[in-house]
């Protein structure tokens, strides 16, 4: 069952309720008012990172192949924020190491 978040129009109280899609809106647990509105909140779902991982890896390798180590490091760092995978963390570390070697 989904979790819905509501705001009471009477007292502004915000609360969560788990119920079916077709069920009516609940009364406010704070003041008992029937005047509540559903709040649009963050949606949660599972993402398959398989395709994203291969695209990220290809782009990272392209940057490295052309000697753009700074871009490779920045790209891998940014990608690691969105796709939580050990391989991307390793790419970010590799990019940093290559950038440091280039500067020496």
pLDDT tens-digit map of 58-90: 888 888 888 888 888 888 888 887 777 788 888
Q: Which domain holds residue 75?
A: 50-103
14 CB contacts (<8 Å, ≥6 apart)?
5, 6, 7, 8, 39
54 shares its domain with 23 = no
pTM of the complete model beyond 0.85: no
- Is there a single domain that holds both residue 99 and residue 64? yes
**Closest to 56 (Cα-Cα) out of 82, 84, 86, 76:** 76
State whether 63 and 91 are in the same domain.
yes
**Where do we find the tokens 């790209």?**
75
- The total number of structural domains that make up the chain: 2
């Amino acid at each position: 069952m989904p979790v819905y978040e509501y705001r009471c129009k009477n007292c502004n109280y915000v609360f969560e309720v788990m119920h079916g899609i077709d069920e009516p809106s609940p009364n406010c647990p704070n003041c008992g008012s029937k005047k509540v509105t559903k709040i649009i909140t963050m949606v949660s779902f599972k993402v398959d990172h398989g395709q994203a991982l291969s695209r990220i890896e290809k782009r990272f390798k392209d940057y490295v192949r052309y000697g753009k180590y700074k871009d490779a490091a920045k790209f891998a760092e940014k990608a690691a924020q969105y796709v939580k995978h050990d391989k991307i963390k390793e790419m970010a570390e590799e990019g940093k190491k290559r950038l440091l070697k280039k500067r020496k």
